[in-house]
């Protein structure tokens, strides 16, 4: 068994230092009562009391009418009082009522003409989510892929991605598993929207909003212990030092095993942040994060060629060599945000982010199916043997992004108001990659003692390829991007909102094979429009229609696929048409629905090593329903249903047989339901169901089906006193056998058996 080494002592030391720092800070600041930073801006909406589902101020000059009911939650009231300084996002428990992800302006969800799901920190914590992969399990329309065991890889509306991730609105496109220790909420925007985000985001984007130093006093430690030797500790501490200066620090350390044999992980992170006001109308946020992870790379189990389903084996069985299958990742990310409001009401925000990332992963994995009617080396049949593959890859990336946004509101009279946005984004990314294609270095096997073939009933091996052979070419890429965008949100009486915008991007890519000296370059200049209209027949209901586009250059989302052929291909295009509704069923209960059609064009696919062709078109269409909020004061709910059909409408010239194939990891039906009920003042219970219908494990073949399943989760909550809370989460209560996801036909992840996790949260 490969044990992760080399960083545990450092992690423990950091955790000890962090904990000690919290204690010292608490003692030093104990004599001063915590103070919230005064707001930079208190808008007309922020000055009045509203329901958590915020009502929009009338566009006419007539004085505002009072809201129907006062804000029912302390968090919402705090947001109203603090205005732009609060990072709360209109959150009350599981319900978020506004977002800036889709528009770059703080907009009520009911006024956004696009489907958006917000996973709050309260929901993630109650469900026992420690990372992004698990947090998105209850989001309709998303299936998290296996990611070859070393990265987040969601499929959103039929589009798989490893790069459409953002942190506070800035791109975070390196491949790794994202933790939630410093995250306030996760906002999932479905459908392309290059007008806001630039390239990529064909199926949507996932934006993590970090915890900020907002002046609120918090000293909290969370410890989790559970099945498969799971051990984790988190700390969150911060408060206002003066009226104009606040600090906060988040830290995490985890050392855990898995239900999968020989699989473990060790990760830790630390994220200090400060907020200060150099002037009354100016606010500055500074932050730094260091994150590190070592883990076993686990690519699951193979399929059975005869049945077209996952091969029957124990869910813990490891195929390949676990000692030769590992990854490490570390990142340094520094952020500076400056916001200023001029006396004339114009606001300017400048956001700079620098990131340095190092990653290496290596794996030995199942590369054929059980009962596959082929032979390997020497002509021996493979009916009861599995062929192994292997490779490793090194990635180093340095990224710098700067966004400048200018917003203002203009009242035109006659009940017409404009919210104008103009912005510029510039960025530079330098990447170095080296891939060692070691699967060819096993040599010609001699059956049955081959190091490349392993018996299906005993597939864990200590053998591996010769990594000293040719490590493959060193690939270097330099990317410079620049985008300019404008947007107008127009309120036309209280009945209509119109949003329109356009963005121009210049994408300048240089690629060099440093081993051969070959080089390619390409410049793409692309316009991306976005338009939507919202009709509100009554204040609590909005009906909308929207159209948006996005693009992805042929160098790919990780800049590694530019070749002599693909450099001549136009960028991929994503076009989304959507209609939907949002209904505040009650002051703290939101029902949303949408139907959509998403077309993808100019997708480049590899048909042979070094040979690519363009798929004519693929299409995803379907609908979603979601219910979020409070059914009663004691009963919270998050429910979602999604229906999708995603297929290749036109295949390549060489492989026309793919026409009509369904897109991988897109079940026709997905359903999720999570309830939390406070049955006593200090006792609560949670119950959840996740259900999916069948889905294919690969688009190219549609040969292997992952069966549908329904899994039940549960939780119990005990507020011991005002300083201590205990929580027990049980995943897969009825211990069903199921397959959660895949990367290909023979990299399939079995679902976890029943598992229990106990969490204790302490506040000081």
Query: Within 10 Å of residue 69's Cβ, how many Cβ atoms?
Result: 14
* Structure-token pair, residue 249: 């620090």
pLDDT at 398 (0 to 100)? 97
The mean of the pLDDT values for the chain is: 86
Kindly tell me if the per-residue pLDDT of 375 is higher than 70. no
Closest to 426 (Cα-Cα) out of 353, 357, 486, 488: 353
Residue 9 pLDDT class (50, 70, 90 cuts): very low
Among 47-61, 279-293, 603-617, which range has the highest average pLDDT?
279-293
If 0-12 CB within 10 Å is exposed, 13-18 middle and 19+ buried, where does residue 543 land?
middle
pLDDT at 266 (0 to 100)? 98
Q: What confidence tens digit (pLDDT) does each residue in 145-179 have? A: 999 999 999 999 999 999 999 999 999 999 999 99
- What is the DSSP code string of 591-606? EEEEEEEEEEEEEEEE
pLDDT at 518 (0 to 100)? 83
* Top-confidence residue, 590 or 443: 590
DSSP class of residue 650 equals: E
pLDDT at 557 (0 to 100)? 87
CA gap 460, 365 in Å, rounded: 10
Q: What confidence tens digit (pLDDT) does each residue in 448-492 have? A: 345 678 899 999 999 878 787 777 788 999 999 999 999 999 999
- Helix, strand, coil percentages for the chain (3-state, nearest 5): 10, 55, 35
Distances (CA, A) of 130 to 136, 253, 442, 685: 11, 11, 38, 19
Secondary structure element (H or E) that encloses residue 44, with its range: helix 44-47
CA gap 246, 29 in Å, rounded: 12
Query: Within 10 Å of residue 561's Cβ, how many Cβ atoms?
Result: 15
Contact at 8 Å (CB) between 568 and 521? no
pLDDT at 207 (0 to 100)? 96
Q: Which domains, ranges and CATH numbers included, belong to the chain?
A: 8-34+136-763 (2.40.170.20)
Distances (CA, A) of 634 to 241, 467, 588, 676: 36, 59, 12, 8
Q: What confidence tens digit (pLDDT) does each residue in 650-660 have? A: 876 555 667 88
β partners of residue 613: 605
Query: Within 10 Å of residue 290's Cβ, how many Cβ atoms?
Result: 15
Instruction: Encode 88-135 in three state secondary structure.
Output: CCCEECCEECEECCCCCCCEEHHHCCCCEEEEEHHHHHHCCCCEHHHH
Closest to 245 (Cα-Cα) out of 268, 274, 218: 274
What values do phi and psi take at 602, rounded to 5?
Answer: 65, 30
CA gap 614, 267 in Å, rounded: 40
pLDDT at 448 (0 to 100)? 39
Q: What confidence tens digit (pLDDT) does each residue in 231-249 have? A: 999 999 999 999 999 999 9
CA gap 267, 254 in Å, rounded: 5
What values do phi and psi take at 126, rounded to 5?
Answer: -65, -35
Residue 25 pLDDT class (50, 70, 90 cuts): very low
Average pLDDT (291-315) is 97
Residue identified by tokens 């969800």 is: 109
pLDDT at 374 (0 to 100)? 61
Average pLDDT (49-72) is 37
pLDDT at 2 (0 to 100)? 44
What totals of helices (H) and strands (E) does the chain contain, helices first? 6, 43
CA gap 395, 38 in Å, rounded: 44
Q: What confidence tens digit (pLDDT) does each residue in 197-215 have? A: 999 999 999 999 999 999 9
CA gap 156, 166 in Å, rounded: 15
What values do phi and psi take at 518, rounded to 5?
Answer: -70, 145
* Top-confidence residue, 390 or 445: 390
Average pLDDT (651-675) is 85
Residue identified by tokens 């696919």 is: 605
Residue 75 pLDDT class (50, 70, 90 cuts): very low
CA gap 322, 297 in Å, rounded: 8
Kindly tell me if the per-residue pLDDT of 69 is higher than 80. no
pTM: 0.87
CA angle 661, 739, 440 (to 5 degrees): 70
What values do phi and psi take at 121, rounded to 5?
Answer: -65, -30
Residue 532 pLDDT class (50, 70, 90 cuts): very high
* Top-confidence residue, 314 or 81: 314
Kindly tell me if the per-residue pLDDT of 224 is higher than 50. yes
Q: Which stretch of 32-41, 461-470, 641-650 has the lowest confidence by average pLDDT?
A: 32-41
* Structure-token pair, residue 127: 């469900």
Residue identified by tokens 């993590």 is: 208
What values do phi and psi take at 28, rounded to 5?
Answer: -65, -40
CA gap 402, 351 in Å, rounded: 6
Average pLDDT (440-454) is 53
Percent of the chain at pLDDT exceeding 70: 83
Closest to 752 (Cα-Cα) out of 369, 326, 303, 263: 263
Average pLDDT (355-368) is 95
Q: Which stretch of 77-81, 115-119, 740-744 has the lowest confidence by average pLDDT?
A: 77-81
Distances (CA, A) of 86 to 69, 76, 159: 22, 10, 34
pLDDT at 608 (0 to 100)? 52
pLDDT at 30 (0 to 100)? 40
**Overall size of the chain counted in residues:** 764
Percent of the chain at pLDDT exceeding 90: 71
pLDDT at 549 (0 to 100)? 93
pLDDT at 177 (0 to 100)? 97
Kindly tell me if the per-residue pLDDT of 61 is higher than 60. no
pLDDT at 441 (0 to 100)? 53
Average pLDDT (342-359) is 97
pLDDT at 727 (0 to 100)? 98
CA gap 93, 75 in Å, rounded: 9
pLDDT at 42 (0 to 100)? 35
CA angle 747, 695, 649 (to 5 degrees): 105
Q: Which stretch of 62-66, 293-297, 417-421, 469-473 has the lowest confidence by average pLDDT?
A: 62-66
CA gap 559, 511 in Å, rounded: 8
Residue identified by tokens 């404008």 is: 486
CA gap 751, 732 in Å, rounded: 9
Closest to 219 (Cα-Cα) out of 242, 236, 206, 199: 236
Closest to 40 (Cα-Cα) out of 336, 284, 346, 282: 282
pLDDT at 356 (0 to 100)? 98
Q: Which stretch of 81-95, 189-203, 275-289, 327-341 has the lowest confidence by average pLDDT?
A: 81-95
Average pLDDT (19-33) is 40
What values do phi and psi take at 47, rounded to 5?
Answer: -75, -25
What values do phi and psi take at 111, rounded to 5?
Answer: -100, 5
Contact at 8 Å (CB) between 526 and 507? yes
Average pLDDT (496-504) is 97
Residue 559 pLDDT class (50, 70, 90 cuts): confident
Contact at 8 Å (CB) between 705 and 697? yes
Q: Which stretch of 61-75, 333-347, 678-692, 743-757 has the lowest confidence by average pLDDT?
A: 61-75
pLDDT at 78 (0 to 100)? 36
Kindly tell me if the per-residue pLDDT of 409 is higher than 50. yes
pLDDT at 461 (0 to 100)? 92
Kindly tell me if the per-residue pLDDT of 513 is higher than 90. no
Residue 442 pLDDT class (50, 70, 90 cuts): low
Q: What confidence tens digit (pLDDT) does each residue in 722-764 have? A: 999 999 999 999 999 999 999 999 999 999 999 999 999 999 9
pLDDT at 467 (0 to 100)? 82
pLDDT at 373 (0 to 100)? 76
What values do phi and psi take at 253, rounded to 5?
Answer: -140, 135
pLDDT at 66 (0 to 100)? 37
pLDDT at 472 (0 to 100)? 79
Contact at 8 Å (CB) between 319 and 460? yes
pLDDT at 613 (0 to 100)? 67
pLDDT at 264 (0 to 100)? 97
CA gap 501, 503 in Å, rounded: 7
């Amino acid at each position: 068994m490969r044990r992760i080494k080399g960083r545990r002592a450092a992690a423990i030391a950091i955790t000890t230092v962090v904990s000690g720092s919290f204690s010292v800070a608490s003692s030093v600041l104990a004599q001063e009562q915590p103070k919230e930073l005064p707001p930079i801006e208190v808008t007309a909406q922020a000055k009045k009391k509203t329901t958590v589902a915020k009502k929009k101020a009338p566009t006419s000059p007539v004085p505002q009418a009072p809201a129907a009911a006062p804000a029912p939650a302390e968090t919402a009231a705090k947001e109203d009082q603090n205005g732009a300084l609060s990072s709360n996002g209109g959150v009350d428990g599981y319900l978020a009522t506004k977002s800036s992800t889709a528009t770059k302006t703080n907009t009520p969800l009911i006024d956004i003409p696009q489907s958006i799901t917000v996973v709050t920190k309260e929901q993630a914590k109650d469900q026992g989510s420690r990372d992004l992969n698990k947090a998105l399990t209850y989001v309709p329309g998303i299936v998290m892929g296996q990611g070859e065991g070393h990265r987040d890889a969601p499929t959103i509306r039929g589009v798989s991605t490893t790069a459409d991730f953002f942190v506070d609105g800035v791109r975070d496109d390196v491949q790794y598993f994202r933790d939630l220790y410093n995250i306030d909420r996760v906002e999932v925007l479905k459908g392309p929207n290059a007008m806001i985000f630039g390239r990529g985001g064909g199926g949507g984007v996932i934006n993590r909003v970090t915890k900020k130093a907002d002046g609120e006093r918090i000293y909290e430690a969370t410890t989790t212990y559970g099945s498969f030797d799971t051990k984790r500790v988190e700390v969150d501490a911060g408060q206002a030092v003066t009226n104009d200066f606040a600090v906060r620090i988040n830290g995490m350390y985890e050392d855990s095993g898995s239900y999968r044999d020989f699989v473990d992980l060790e990760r830790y992170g630390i994220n200090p942040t400060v907020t200060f006001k150099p002037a009354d109308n100016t606010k500055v946020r500074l932050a730094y994060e260091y994150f590190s992870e070592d883990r076993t790379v686990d690519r699951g189990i193979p399929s059975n060629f005869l049945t077209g389903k996952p091969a029957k084996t124990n869910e813990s069985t490891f195929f390949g060599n676990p000692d030769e299958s590992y990854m490490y990742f570390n990142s340094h990310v520094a952020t500076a945000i400056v916001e200023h409001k001029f006396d004339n009401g114009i606001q300017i925000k400048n956001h700079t982010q620098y990131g340095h990332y190092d990653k290496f992963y290596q794996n030995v994995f199942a590369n054929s199916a059980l009962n596959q009617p082929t032979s390997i080396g020497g002509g021996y049949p493979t009916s009861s043997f599995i062929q192994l593959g292997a490779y490793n890859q090194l990635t180093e990336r340095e990224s710098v992004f700067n966004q400048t946004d200018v917003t203002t509101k203009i009242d035109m009279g006659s009940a017409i108001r404009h919210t104008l946005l103009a912005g510029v984004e510039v960025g530079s990314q330098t990447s170095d990659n080296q891939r060692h294609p070691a699967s060819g270095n096993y040599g010609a096997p001699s059956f049955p003692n081959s190091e490349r073939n392993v018996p299906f009933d005993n597939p864990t091996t200590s053998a591996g390829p010769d990594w000293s052979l040719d490590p493959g070419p060193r690939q270097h890429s330099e990317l410079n991007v620049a985008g300019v965008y404008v947007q107008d949100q127009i309120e036309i009486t209280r009945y209509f909102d119109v949003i329109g915008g356009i963005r121009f991007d210049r994408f300048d890519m240089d690629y060099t094979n440093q081993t051969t000296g070959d080089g390619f370059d390409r410049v793409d200049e692309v316009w991306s429009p976005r338009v939507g209209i919202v009709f509100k027949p009554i204040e609590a209901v909005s009906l909308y229609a929207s159209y948006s586009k996005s693009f992805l250059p042929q160098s790919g989302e990780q800049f590694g696929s530019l070749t002599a052929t693909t450099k001549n291909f136009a960028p991929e295009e994503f076009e989304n048409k959507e209609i939907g509704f949002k209904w505040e069923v009650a002051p703290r209960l939101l029902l949303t629905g949408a139907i959509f059609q998403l077309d993808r064009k100019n997708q480049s696919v590899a048909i042979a090593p070094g040979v690519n062709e363009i798929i004519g078109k693929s299409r995803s269409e379907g609908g979603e329903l979601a219910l979020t909020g409070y059914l009663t004061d004691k009963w919270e709910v998050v429910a979602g249903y999604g229906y999708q059909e995603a297929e290749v409408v036109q295949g390549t010239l060489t492989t026309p047989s793919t026409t009509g194939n369904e897109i991988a990891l897109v079940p026709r039906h997905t359903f999720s339901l999570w309830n939390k009920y406070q049955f006593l003042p200090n006792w609560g219970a949670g119950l959840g169901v996740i259900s999916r219908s069948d889905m294919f494990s690969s688009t190219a073949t549609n040969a292997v089906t992952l069966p549908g399943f329904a899994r039940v989760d549960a939780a119990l909550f005990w507020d011991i006193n005002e300083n201590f809370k205990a929580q027990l989460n049980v995943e897969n209560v009825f211990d069903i056998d199921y397959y959660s996801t895949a990367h290909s036909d023979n990299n399939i992840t079995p679902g976890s058996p029943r598992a229990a996790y106990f969490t204790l949260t302490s506040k000081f």
